[in-house]
Amino acid sequence: MITGVSANLMWGDDNRTLYYVENDPKTLLTKRVKTHVLGAPVAQDRLVYEEKDDTFYMGVGRTRSDDYLCIGVSSTVSSELRCTDADKPGEFKVLAPRQRDFEYEADHLNGRWVINTNWNAQNFRIMTFADGQPWGDRNRWQELVPHSADVLISGVTLFDGFMAISERSGGLQRVRVRHDDGRQEFVKADESAYSMGVSVNAEPDTDWLRYTYTSLTTPASTYEVNVRTGERKLLKEQPVLGGFDKANYVTERLWATARDGTKVPVSVLYRKGFEKNGQAALYQYSYGSYGSSSDPGFNGNVLSLVDRGALYAVAHIRGGQEMGRSWYEDGKLLKKTNTFTDFIDVTDFLVKEGWAAPDRVAAMGGSAGGLLMGAVANLAPEKYTAIVAHVPFVDVVTTMLDESIPLTTNEFDEWGNPKDKVYYDYMLSYSPYDQVAAKAYPSMLVTTGLWDSQVQYFEPAKWVARLRAKKTDANPLLFRINMEAGHGGKSGRFQRYRERAEEYAFVIERLGLPAAP
């Protein structure tokens, strides 16, 4: 038995050699790649590569061509790929050496490498180089798809004769098909607000591209489209119990104006018959960190609120990448407060335009989105009736000063290093724990898990204790520590439904929604 490994494995061509990533036993960070030969003692496993820099995460995989075995490492602002021949494994050679602010992903098929990179391209561009050229010199790469200021290229999947490009434009995900002869077309969408991505396509020698599609009204679906004929087939759709009928719901894409004039996209969901009269309850969600976008995907749970007359809104605030890489850059480090003010400005917009009542607004976020909730609670408590913060990262300065915590050094490029006074002062100015004041706060539900290694339980515990000591209101402040859960909640097929029911019971009561739809 091999223990202490990550869920990332790769087989060698001999079908007997297994490559695996070993975690550090204390920090759980990915540290070493080793090989295990079936039938051999684990003690004889050979070290292939060890990553010395704790700011990098690591994984292994085969190229699309199956010609190469690769080890990839990445940090917040840089990446590096090293590969070896799959049929005769030897030294893992570096495709392009790591460099700060240089990111790339690469794959191989039909005698060429295809690289998606931000080298001289903030929103990334696609480049290639052919077999037989020396590795390690990116100046030999040739541009295939140029950079665009309006389109973020997030991934490339290679096929015989074409490639599927995952990208973001206008705040939405889409899939572009680029044929090897230069022809291009987009996979069609059926709604104005949706989320689309390339699905699992196990084999490259096909004309059929599988992709996923979802929206706030459309359950997660898998389609395939023939890139030669345009024929489309629905392969699978997420079942929704309880008599769900898509025709009963409406989704729209709105644009809110932030206080600095920036247009912020907002996706909303409501039931047909909804009246935009300024009386409805609003449940607003976002995340807004790490370049992770809050895409408008189907959430069957939230129908429980929508069926009771509430408006559900996803705010695509800065800190994600909905509007391109600059959207992320404008919501991190010394621009982090844009994330918080965008969220508040979206709330103001929805109330002003009559989508919601000013005294019936609830907000929810988790992890770094819990930081968002804490900051919003400090900045504009009067605008929210209730706030739900799951596993919230709220003691920002103290945590980022403690380099013994596994995630701290990895995240200096996201939040800043507080040992630098400029970053210390800025982080202190919005850190939810440090900014708690003697004033009225909304009703709040805060949850965490005892075994959370990403945001350890004592962060929200400290925050809740400080809130209870300082707040001047009589609103409930509920705190739940799940003694059997980690960062993603308790395991178990149905446990997540129990957790959502607990959350929604709180929200329904606070917003004055009817007990039954």
Which helix (H) or strand (E) segment holds residue 349: the answer is helix 337-352
Which residue reads 């695996």 in tokens? 20
Instruction: Give me the count of residues in the chain.
Output: 517
If one counts every other C-beta atom within 10 angstroms of the C-beta of residue 435, the result is: 17
User: Is 452 tagged catalytic?
Assistant: yes
Residues whose CB is less than 8 angstroms from the CB of residue 477 and which lie 6 or more positions away in sequence, other chains included: 441, 443, 444, 446, 464, 467, 468, 471
**Catalytic entry in 107, 330, 342, 452:** 452
- Give the pLDDT score at 297: 95
Among 460, 338, 447, smallest CA distance to 399 is for: 460
Residue found by looking up tokens 């644009």 in the block = 255
Q: What percent of the chain has pLDDT over 90?
A: 88
Catalytic residue among 367, 390, 431, 443: 367
Q: Which two tokens stand for residue 117?
A: 């990179």
Give the model's confidence band at 256: pLDDT under 50 very low, under 70 low, under 90 confident, else very high. very high
> Which secondary structure element, helix H or strand E, spans residue 144, and what is its range?
strand 142-145
Q: Pairing relation of β-strands 386-390 and 443-449?
A: parallel
Note the pLDDT of residue 464. Answer: 98
Three-class SS state of 240? coil
Residue 377's pLDDT band (cuts 50, 70, 90): very high
Both tokens of 442, joined, read 């909304």
Sheet holding 232-237, edge to edge: 195-198, 208-214, 221-226, 232-237
pLDDT over 80 at 459, yes or no = yes
pLDDT band at 405 (very low <50, low <70, confident <90, very high): confident
Tell me the percentage of the chain whose pLDDT exceeds 70: 99
Work out the average pLDDT over 274-280: 97
Structure tokens at 54: 């704790």
Give the CA distances from residue 387 to residues 199, 259, 342, 350, in Å, rounded to whole numbers and listed in that order: 35, 22, 16, 17
The model's confidence at residue 333, banded by pLDDT at 50, 70 and 90, is: very high
295 CB-contact burial (10 Å; exposed 0-12 / middle 13-18 / buried 19+): buried
Q: Is 267 a catalytic residue?
A: no
285: left (phi over 0), alpha (psi -120 to 50) or beta: beta
**Which residue shows structure tokens 């010395």?**
52
Has 367 been annotated as catalytic? yes
Q: Give the whole-angstrom CA distance, residue 65 versus residue 86.
A: 10
The Cα–Cα gap between 302 and 318 comes to 24
Cβ-based neighbour number of residue 416 at 10 Å: 20
Q: What is the token pair recorded at 266?
A: 């907002």
Rounded Cα distance between 395 and 374, Å, is 10
Helix (H), strand (E) counts: the chain: 9, 28
Strand 30-37, strand 46-50: pairing: antiparallel
- What are residue 509's phi and psi, to 5 degrees? -65, -45
pLDDT, average across residues 145-169: 96
Between CA 126 and CA 147 the distance in angstroms is 8
State how far the alpha carbon of 77 is from the alpha carbons of 47, 122, 148, 222, 328, in Å. Answer: 27, 12, 20, 32, 12
> 23-79 pLDDT, tens per residue?
998 888 899 999 999 999 999 999 999 999 989 999 999 999 999 999 999 998 999
**Token pair for 461:** 């515990």
> Residue 150: is its pLDDT beyond 90?
yes
